[in-house]
Structure 1
Amino acid sequence: MTPAKTSKYRSLLLLLIFFLSGFAALIYQVIWQRWLVFYTGISSVSISLIVSAFMAGLGLGYLAGGQLADRAGKNRPILYFVLAELGIGLFALVSKSIIYDWLYLSNALQAGGGFQIYLILFLILLFPTFLMGLSLPLLSKAFEQKTSEKQANYISLLYFTNTLGAAIGTFVTSFVLIRVMGFESAVRLGALLNFTCAITSVIIYYTETRKNTAQTTKESATLLTDSKSAGFTWNRNFTYWILQYTTSGFMAICFEIMWFRIIETMMKSVALTFSIILAIYLGMMAIGTYFGVRFAKNYKGNRLKLFLNSQYFLYFYTIGSIVILQWAVKDVSAFSFLFDYLKSYETSFATNIAITTMLVIPMFLMAVPTFIMGFSFTISQLIIQDKFEEVGRKVGWLQFMNIVGSTAGSWFVTLVGFNYLGTSLTIKLISLIGLVYIFIMHKHRFNSMLVRISMAVGLVLAVFLLPANEKFWMKLGGMTSEKDFIIREDETALSFIKTFGGNAFVYTNGLGQSMFPFNQDNTHIVLGAIPALIHPSPEDIGIIGLGSASTLYNAGGREVTKNLDCFEVIINQPDAVYEYVERSKDSSAYYIMTDKRVNLILQDGRYFLHRNEKKYDIIEADALRPKSSYSGNLYSVEYFELLKSKLKDGGMAITWGATERIKNGFLNVFPYTYEFGGFMLVGSNKPLQLNEAEIMKRLDDPFTKAHYARANIDVYALLSSTLQSKRILQNGTTQNKRNVNLDMWPKDEFDFGRIWANILKDED
């Protein structure tokens, strides 16, 4: 085989290795994020903390990798890459013990404020993410190409394969691996991929070493110390590119978070939303990078002009596509089915809805901008890379500053954008960054004056056409009347209250949760009232989820109840309910929101229960759809064990028995389990005293009568029919060991019916 062919196959093999490395990295990101929210609690802020900590480690790895790559001897970058892959794989094998067992279960590190939590997350993730960040600068310097242009293309191909691997890894992890093998086994598979990368890279390293024995012997024992290698050309031009990569990182993460909020709301918050968005984001970026390599081979024009024009178009298309989307769902008859769906209460997986919300809209919004991001990376590398001895440091510094920009963008959107500006104004402000590129084109005299003015006018017009936040979300919420629509937005979520048909409905991130008036919502009446009336003396009640406050209200019907702790992770939800009360003058909703017994705790309910010693007579989670994001955390055997440990003697735990797995898990924990109304499960350590006459007599109490009469609830008829529907599912100590949901394997959350119906039937 000729040296040229050998070099080609060696490079292809290295690209394949980097593909597998990217695949493994996204297995870890998806799963480690799930594990870490047990420690931090579920909220947008906690997830931002996790992502920021992940990116910080990557950024430091990029920076160190660039320095190491440029100072290493020939072939040494491959050897360092081997060590990095081994380190990542070894950490992965013990990651569950560190993140879940030690950090979460044992409460090893108690953290208070956001900075303390961030610091702990950063330190936990630093080792593996730092090693991940080393990889691109090291492999960028692994082999010297004949020309600077080929070197830049080689770097772009590395970026392409790694990003493509990450995109496919995201998709496969959520759609296949978690479904088929659960979290732990998926992480072990990632470790196996890292070890495969390391072993293959060792073979490449020793093959190259034998071929260059004389030269390698001279360089292997020491680092390069010649002036070219030690120095670094940090000129004004490179500073401009540092600013560009920082801005690009800021813009990219801002738009990614904005896209996620829009698409999640239109999908109605299903568990796979994040993975779909991230897979498209990374996949189109990879395709754009590869296209840039192919395109640049024959492009003879000014590359800087091409880069600036593409950057402008990225901003223009992003805001333009959002303007078109919010116009089309309301005013284009072909999308009337979508407008009706956005208005509706439930999630639907009907073919036209699923294809539109999970594929067409995400691709329409994201495909072009992310393609341009990848394309721009290639063009920028062709402009920047001109000296082989500086390849590593240039890649390292640029990627590090890109991470700095991403981190700043993440916090800007989370803490400033959602809390003070709203989605619409945040999109407008980020999009106006596109004017900077028009100014730079003006300085360089790229394009004619008329074209530059037209570009500026087009971008400003698109910004102007995007409606204000309330009208923007009103359209994407399927509503036409402002008086029938309440919106509250912050970093935790979007809360809507929509009024139609004489009733008002509460939505979180587009998905219906509960309704007003309370007497129309039998499900939440049963969930709240029946346990409170069954228990002999429910002094302390804990309820996970506020919604419309219907469950909370109905749980408060006994005078003996002294404390009603209501946990709500969506901080703006109480404000939305208060706004509804003010508009509607609903006395029952006002009563419970101002009841002195009620203690609103605005944080993750499971997180609070795990970290506090308080015990309750009754604990329940408001009905949560099993396929909603993070629903597995409230339907796992471990969660039910937590409830059991937080009950007083004779206390009751309540859950919605939505699936067989939920029922099995509940039965596996509670020795005495009952079903009411065909959907509500009640578990206890002791048999319940279900004397119907005695329970019905509790309705004669003046406090109880007045409480339910205030909301026009015929609790007598409902209690009577619910008690008659009672079924004893388990009475004694028999444990049900069948198929269940686990913290390490939330099967219901990732089981999407017919797609995987024939893959696994009974895993156990």
Structure 2
Amino acid sequence: MLTRWLSLVFFLSGFAALIYQVVWQRLLTLYYGVGAISMALIVSIYMAGLGLGSLCGGRLAEKVKNKILLYFVVELAIGCFGLVSLPFLKFLGQHTAGSSYALTFAYMSAFLLIPTIFMGITLPVLVKIFNHVIRNFSQTISFLYFVNTIGAAFGAIFTSYVIISFWGLDTAIYVAVFINFVLAGIIFTSRRMPASIDMEKQKPAVAAVSQTGSGTVPVVAYALVFVTGFLAIGYEILWFRVVGVLVKASPYAFSTILFIYLLGIALGSRLMGKIFKRNIPDKMNLFLLIQFLIGSSVLSIFLFYYYLTSKTPLQLLTHISFSLQSHPTIVTPDFASFGQNLFANLYAMTDIFLWPMVFVFLPTLLMGASFPLITWLALGSSDQEGKAVGNVYFFNILGNVLGGLVTGFVFLAHWGTEITVMVFIAVGVLFGCFVKSIGSRQLPAYFRGSVVVVLLIVMLSFFPKKGELYQLMHEAYCKDAQTFLEEGEDSLVVTCEHEGSIYNFVNGTTQGGRPGYRFHAHAIETASFAPHAQRALVIGYGTGSVTEVALKMPGMKKVTIVELSKSLMKNLEKMPVFQGLLADPRLEIVLDDGRRFLLRNQDKYDIVFLVCIKAHSSYANNLYSKEFFELVGRHLTPQGVLLAWTDERSVTPKTIAAAFKHVRLYAQIRKEVFCIAGNSPLIQNLPAIKSILEGFTPAEQISINYSLFQFSADESAIARKSALYPINEDWKPVSEYYLGLEFKKHLISSRMR
């Protein structure tokens, strides 16, 4: 009975832990930005806390007599911190937002280390408790790792698809807190179960044969787990980059890829538990074989994808995914029309799961089998299982932290995806040199060496060269075009130029394009409400159409561009058209997160342009929340105006109207709209439009066609039209996590019929 309760507890503990991870990571970006350095700091600190916790947990598990009570205290502490985490982070963020990265590291550590250390304590303590009951270490570690990881997998997917989408980030935290408190209650009650009382009274029994020390020098096991941890997180970063290009910057991409990643690891751990039931004389040999298979499987997957996509009709799958703007795409449940395009509709709703399954599932299945195996190999003494698990988990996470930093900031920045994947594959394949046997069959050294050499030759000969993988993914737009590609730690940028047209993609998502006449028109209309502007702020450069208008405004003295992607600016600077646009001495280019930039300075602007940010993109709510628009308002001069482009017509305009006294909404033939907002009455100066247009050629003036948009509503009309819809707030990212909004729109539409 105790083991069943503890299994449920550990499943829900993993579920709650991933709620915290998804939400806390999201909330920290509100104050410290979504740039590559900020994101790396968040992940590194989170992982470091788990590692330190596991190290502490391993020692506590061996020293504390009442381990059930210890586990109760840990779960209760996590819940208590979760309960105060929202007001604590809000207070911390309001007083430290926009700090230098050194100080940001300290503030993030102050927030994340305490709860993550407690989270890290749980596995070694529960292993000690569980193993006392079933007295089989190999089964204990494989089963508990499976239970906790499968809970984490479902926690990741449920958090984004359900809780955040329908109720927001704050509700997600309170759900996790509720789970922690319920678990604490279950654990506290279970201390009176017979097995718990027996554990407190008895001394450790003589271990079964299956849990005696492995004979492996622990240092060797720790070195191996460090290397495999390095590779595991490195692969994860690469998969996020590759799959992210196919499913765009969807807010559901992170949790979906993480779900498949954790699902594979969980099932692999469970599979190893079944393998442990057999008599495997050389477990180190099995561990080395698994590492070889991981490298071989990654090689096979990438080669199959590349050549099947480039040489067969299966390329259609990549083209469809790349053309979809939302992942998953919501298809209206009209069964008559749905059936006519059954495959296309089902694919649009499920491709966000397909691509992680293709790239991620098989290798992570093998990775999951590795952890319980290496933990068994690190067990030096049968009565020190908690300490062994804590040490292994610590070195695994140490490898994770270093692997994440090196892969993101060194390998991707200098080598790119293709070469980095090849290096990781090579390391995995080289483990094959030390695999002495498969089953009962011995493998001669010359045979092992030959297999490894052949695989390395195949990889070097057929693996896509630098940039070729992403050129293939962008082929639907960039075929027969001159293609410029730049990959860095922050993003992948592909810009294609063909017959005078420029298509620009950042991590697979369209960012601007030239000629951008409709963007010119947006900016010119906005400029007519600030005809005497001298300072402008452009958040998101795109392909420069808005910046071009700002520089043509009479009297403009300085235009500050805040662009998140360093790789974007490097890529555009390769093209002559942008070299000229970016050479204007009035330009100031700042590589930073737009919100973080405003939080860390007090400058005022006559006009602020916010363009080309899709409302349903990941982290878009940082720039579409009421709090952000209020922040922009504080940086406007008394007569200053804001241009905010959006592809969402209900929630975003209402949010802007909640932050500004005066708003004008313009509708277009396309889905997108834009708003002009300010805190002073919006008075248009029509001669200003003519003055700006004179800076363009006659042909360009004709093309800047005002028929593409028209004034649609002011703040009062916006309030009436969107009365049934909520607004975006920092803790309620309604339009970003759009599944809940789409459901609400369907309900509203049904009522109006």
Q: With the length of structure 1 as denominator, give the TM-score of the two structures.
A: 0.88
Task: Report the CA distance between 1:463 and its aligned residue.
Answer: 2.7
Establish whether residue 742 from structure 1 lines up as the match of residue 729 from structure 2: yes
Question: 2:117 matched to which residue of 1?
Answer: 130
Q: Please give the secondary structure, in 2, of the residue aligned with 1:652.
A: strand
Q: How many Å apart are 1:545 and its aligned residue?
A: 0.4
1:414 paired to 2:408: yes
Residue 563 (str. 1) matches residue 558 (str. 2) = yes
Q: Distance in 2 between matches of 1:308 and 1:732?
A: 63
> Which amino acid is the alignment partner of residue 564 of structure 2?
V
Which position in structure 1 is the counterpart of 2:333? none
Question: Are the aligned partners of 1:59 and 1:130 in contact in 2 as well (CA < 8 Å)?
Answer: yes
Percent identity, aligned pairs only, is: 27
Structure-to-structure mapping, 1:269-668, within 5 angstroms: 269-300=249-280, 302-339=282-319, 342=322, 349=329, 350-351=344-345, 353-354=347-348, 357-385=351-379, 387-441=381-435, 447-449=443-445, 451-464=447-460, 465-478=462-475, 484-500=482-498, 502-517=500-515, 521-581=516-576, 586=577, 589-657=578-646, 658-668=648-658
Deviation readout 1:48-94 (Å, 9 max, x if unpaired): 11000000000000001111111222xx2221111111111011011
The structure-2 alpha-carbon separation of the partners of 1:50 and 1:275, relative to structure 1 and needing over 3 Å to count, comes to same
Structure 1 residue 351: deviation in Å? 2.9
**2:90 is aligned with 1:107:** no
Distance 1:125 1:346, change over 3 A: closer
Residues paired across the two proteins, number: 721
| Cα shift readout 1:570-608 (whole Å, capped 9, x = no counterpart) | 011112111122xxxx3xx44431111111111011111
What amino acid sits opposite 2:365 in the alignment? F
SS of equivalent to 2:52? helix
Q: Residues of 2 paired with 1:151 and 1:334: CA distance?
A: 46
Task: Give the SS at the match of 2:58.
Answer: helix
Aligned AA for 1:514?
G
Amino acid at match of 1:420: H
Give yes or no for contact 1:167–1:278 (8 Å, CA) kept in 2. Answer: yes
1:228-248: per-residue Cα shift (whole Å, max 9, x none)? Answer: xxxx99986211100111011
Q: Distance in 2 between matches of 1:251 and 1:716?
A: 52
Q: Tell me the CA shift for residue 117 of structure 1.
A: 2.4
Aligned residues of 1:329 and 1:339 also touching (Cα < 8 A): no
Alignment equivalent of 1:246, drawn from 219, 226, 241 = 226
Distance 1:741 1:637 in 2: 6
CA contact (8 A) 1:623 1:655 kept: no
- 1:163–1:593 CA distance, 2 compared to 1 (3 A): same
CA deviations on 1:80-114 (whole Å, 9 max, x unpaired) are 11111111101101111122x1122x22376323x
* Aligned mates of 1:127, 1:163 — CA distance in 2: 21
Shift in Å, 1:361 = 2.1
Unpaired stretches in structure 2, ≥5 consecutive residues: 205-211, 330-343
Separation in 2, partners of 1:607, 1:279: 30
Residue 164 in structure 1 maps to residue 127 in structure 2: no
Please give the secondary structure, in 2, of the residue aligned with 1:492.
Answer: coil
Structure 1: gaps of 5 or more residues: 1-8, 225-231
* Per-residue CA distance 1:8-40 (angstroms, 9 max, x = gap): x21111011001100000000000001111122
Amino acid in the other structure paired with 2:273: V
State the alpha-carbon separation in 2 of the partners of residues 30 and 242 from structure 1.
29
1:730 Cα offset (Å): 3.2
Q: Distance in 2 between matches of 1:569 and 1:525?
A: 22
Amino acid at match of 1:402: N
Q: How many angstroms apart in 1 are the aligned matches of 2:543 and 2:522?
A: 13
Question: What secondary structure sits across from 1:315 in the alignment?
Answer: helix
1:152 maps onto 2:138 in alignment: yes
Mapped to 2, the partners of 1:145 and 1:760 lie a distance apart of 53
Instruction: Mark the CA change 1:481 to 1:235 in structure 2 (over 3 Å): closer, same or farther.
Output: same
* Aligned residues of 1:667 and 1:735 also touching (Cα < 8 A): no
SS, match of residue 494 in structure 2: strand
C-alpha separation in 2, matches of 1:65 and 1:490: 38
Corresponding letter in the other structure for 1:237: V
SS at the partner of 2:680? coil
Q: Which residue of 2 aligns with 1:43?
A: 35
How much does 1:628 deviate?
0.9
Q: Which amino acid aligns with 1:35?
A: L
TM-score in terms of structure 2 length: 0.89
Query: Quick one: distance in 2 between partners of 1:139 and 1:753?
Result: 37
Letter in 1 for 2:727: V
2:682 to 679, 683, 688: 688
- DSSP-derived class of the 1:556 partner: helix
Distance 1:462 1:274, change over 3 A: farther
Change (3 A) 1:135 1:482: farther
The answer to whether residue 13 in structure 2 is matched with residue 15 in structure 1 is no
Tell me which amino acid in the other structure corresponds to 1:131: F
Structure 1 residues 127, 715: CA separation in 2 closer, same or farther (over 3 Å shift)? farther
Give the distance between the partners of 1:242 and 1:554, measured in 2 at CA.
Answer: 59
CA 1:495–1:109: 2 relative to 1, 3 Å = closer
**1:533 touches 1:558 (CA, 8 Å); kept in 2?**
no
